[in-house]
Structures are given as structure tokens and as C-alpha cells.
Amino acid sequence: MKARLSTDGGARGNPGPAAYGYVLESEDGTVLAAHGERIGVATNNVAEYRALVAGLEKALELGVEEVRVVSDSELLVKQMNGEYRIKNEALKGLAAEAERLARRLRDVSYEAVRREHNELADSLVNEALDAPE
């Protein structure tokens, strides 16, 4: 099975209260899973990577074999595609975890999109941040 994984992360303040969201959709657009979660105080970039890791874990859990990751984080996409080096230690660990998960799938590709093309994942981040604790 092939799927599209839309991921997003955000922090109010950088670092600040942070959350991530992901949406996993089948090729016909059926939502297989959608999740948003607070992660405490973190940076935007850590939240973006946490979304990627959680989304890849869910894809594996659901038996997805090929994933097209769509993110509005150009940094994450370029780092995961090997175009940018990862200097931040926290991001190195999260990227390594994402790579470990990706190796268990037949194929994973990464695509950067504009924020307005990532609305559902973005809304999950904001819902998680706005929810009472």
C-alpha cells in the first residue's frame, strides 16, 4: 500500500509550548490516520521531526509500504534528502530515528510544500496547542 504522510510541527515561541500533527492518507485520499499531540517545550524543528517520526511509526503499524512525506519544513525535507547537513544534536537523534523507520518501508520520499498545502496537519498542531492541558 502507498500513502501520503503530511506532517507539521510548531512551537509558540522558539522554543516554547510545542506540538506536532500528521495525516496519513491512502492514494485515493482516504484518511488512514490523523493525530495531533503536545510535546511540551521544544523548538519548531524538533516538533517537525517528532511529527515525521510519529507518522512513519503509524505508517508501519498500518502496513503501509511506500510513503510520500509532505512537509512545509524545507529544512526537514532538505536534511532528510541529504541536501543539508544536520548540525543540531537533538535533530540528529530524531533524524536517525526517522531513517531507522524509513528503512523498514519499501520506499520513502520527501517533498516540501507551501504551508497552505499542508492545512490539515497544521490544524492538528494548532488544535493540540489550543487544547486545555
pLDDT digits (tens, 9 = 90+) for 110-120: 999 998 889 99
110-116, long-range: CB < 8 A, 24+ apart:
110/69, 110/71, 110/76, 110/77, 110/80, 110/81, 111/68, 111/69, 111/70, 111/71, 111/77, 112/71, 112/72, 112/73, 112/74, 112/77, 112/78, 113/70, 113/71, 113/72, 114/72, 115/72
Residue-level pLDDT at 57: 98
pLDDT tens for residues 28-59?
Answer: 999 999 999 999 999 999 999 999 999 999 99
Give percent of the chain with pLDDT exceeding 70.
100
Domain range summary for the chain, segments of one domain joined by +: 2-130
The mean pLDDT value of the chain amounts to 97
What CATH superfamily classification does 2-130 receive?
Answer: Ribonuclease H-like superfamily/Ribonuclease H (3.30.420.10)
* Whether the predicted model's global pTM rises above the 0.75 cut: yes
